[in-house]
Amino acid sequence: MNDDLSANEPTDAVAEVRTSSGPLAGLRVLELAGIGPGPYAGMLLGDLGAEVIRIERRGAESAGNTDPTLRNRRNMTLDLKSQAAVDVVLRLIERSDVLLEGFRPGVTERLGLGPEICCQRNPRLIYARITGWGQDGPLSRTAGHDINYIALTGLLHQIGDKQGRPVPPLNVIGDYGGGGLMVAFGIVCALFERARSGRGQVVDSAMIDSVISFTAPLMGLRNQGYWIDRPAANFLSGAAHFYDTYETRDGKWLAVGAIEPQFHQLLLERLGLDPAEFALGVGFQQGLYSELVEDVWPALRSKLAAAIRRYSRAELEAMFDGSDACVSPILSMQEALEHPHNVARKAFIEIDGVAQNAPVPRFSRSRPKHPQAPRAVDANTLEILKELGLSTAQIEHVLTAR
């Protein structure tokens, strides 16, 4: 018998990486189907190893395999207006760690699936709720979308053009940052606390609250006199020449973020601009901020724009390649897929031929498996009902009850 390890055998650490299914392996999440932030949160949790069971309404259409936010699920359809279906969900809750729902306040209570009932069935349950306005407050029962939630936080007022028109930044701030990402963070925090207390709890994740949290750095700048409360009037929103977007000779666009003096110096050197002409516009002092915004930066921006417009985007990419000038091409989504840095980091992946984002963040040891493509909305209904121990007659009753 040879006790020597083969040279081809992985070390314990490598073997552990190869066999891991992610840091959330063993976690079961029950997702009541919705749109926007809920599916995104489910994707985040599923990407990192959680088993996510998505319950969709009966009769819902499958979206195919093109939506990354619906990957890594087992899917079932139920008519939650029937007591038989509600009973199934309650049985699943007994075997789950997390319930994720994104309905308006009061909807799950009316269905018989509110937190009081569910947490009685499973005292260790993390009951995660995503809403726009929160579970209480004057607006809690009204409809809204990302643009409405960020409008009431003061954030949308900061994003726009120099004519003062606020411009919606897609729906990534409210829906996906304030909604999906924040509720996933809340879930993990509640699970950490449960490990000590043994008890579940309700996580109330309101998009408006989360977006207000995102404004903390801006409020700090405002409190220090470094922020003017209007669109395009601040060094991070297009007022400063060193933090803005510029059109190139070939009609493409460049992003410049040379805030620090040493990076600003590199920017000017590569473009052949005289640092003396830009000396007054580097950095700022308290009490002089308004003067910079109104008098100094606009003129410097015009000079920088003229210098950049002499070159194509490709020429500028080559000019700043490898430098710390904080200059980047503004890529289309297709170009982003092909950029060497994104390719090197495998930031985009393909699942069944569909290009999409890779799971984040990355872990040195508990690496998740490659994501699975979205399945049909009812792909696992029978399988899950059988796992619950339901008889054929009981399954038929659940599937036909109204």
**Residue 268, domain CATH:** 3.30.1540.10
Cα gap 383→77, rounded to integer Å: 12
How would you class 304 by CB atoms within 10 Å of its CB: exposed for 0-12, middle for 13-18, buried for 19 or more? Answer: buried
pLDDT at position 285: 61
pLDDT tens digit sequence for 211-269: 999 999 999 999 998 899 999 999 999 999 999 999 999 999 999 999 999 999 999 99
**Residue 186: pLDDT band with limits 50, 70, 90:** very high
Would you say residue 219 lies in a domain? no
**Longest pairwise C-alpha distance within the chain:** 84
Same domain, 106 and 193: yes
State the Cα angle at 303 between 302 and 309, rounded to 5°: 85
Same domain, 200 and 233: no
**Residue 286: pLDDT band with limits 50, 70, 90:** low
Same domain, 189 and 265: no
Parent domain of 139: 17-214+364-400
Residue 320 tokens, joined:
């700043």
DSSP codes, 122-163: -TT-EEEEEESS-SSSTTTTS---HHHHHHTTTSGGGSB-TT
Question: What is the mean pLDDT of the segment spanning 310-319?
Answer: 98
Would you say residue 23 lies in a domain? yes
Q: CB under 8 Å to 77, separation ≥6 — which residues?
A: 55, 56, 57, 58, 59, 60, 377, 378, 381
Which entry of 79, 87, 145, 209 is annotated as an active-site residue? Answer: 145
Q: CB under 8 Å to 386, separation ≥6 — which residues?
A: 395
Query: Coil, helix or strand for 296?
Result: helix
Known active-site residue 12: no
- Measured in Å, how far apart are the chain's first and last C-alpha atoms? 66
Domain stops at, among 279, 311, 329: 329
**Residue 5: pLDDT band with limits 50, 70, 90:** very low
Which entry of 47, 146, 175, 204 is annotated as an active-site residue? Answer: 175
Do 68 and 95 meet the contact criterion of CB atoms below 8 Å apart? Answer: no
Same domain, 305 and 375: no
In 184-200, which positions are buried (b, 16+ CB within 10 angstroms) versus exposed (e)? bebbbebbeebeeeeeb
- Of the two residues 282 and 87, the one the predictor is more confident about is 87
Please enumerate, as own/partner, the contacts of 244-248 that have beta carbons within 8 Å and a separation of 24 or more.
244/301, 245/330, 246/304, 246/305, 246/308, 246/309, 247/305, 247/308, 247/309, 248/308, 248/309, 248/311, 248/312, 248/313, 248/316
Same domain, 43 and 137: yes
Q: What stretch of H or E contains 205?
A: strand 201-206
Q: Residue 41: pLDDT above 50? A: yes
In 240-264, which positions are buried (b, 16+ CB within 10 angstroms) versus exposed (e)? bbbbbebebeeebebebebeeeebb
Same domain, 262 and 144: no
**Is the backbone of residue 19 left (phi > 0), alpha (psi -120 to 50) or beta?**
alpha
Look at residues 100, 105, 118, 108 and name the one whose alpha carbon lies nearest to residue 36.
100
Q: What stretch of H or E contains 255?
A: strand 253-257
pLDDT tens digit sequence for 260-284: 999 999 999 999 999 999 998 887 6
pLDDT tens digit sequence for 49-73: 999 999 999 989 988 899 999 999 9
Known active-site residue 175: yes
pLDDT at position 281: 86
Domain stops at, among 329, 353, 386: 329
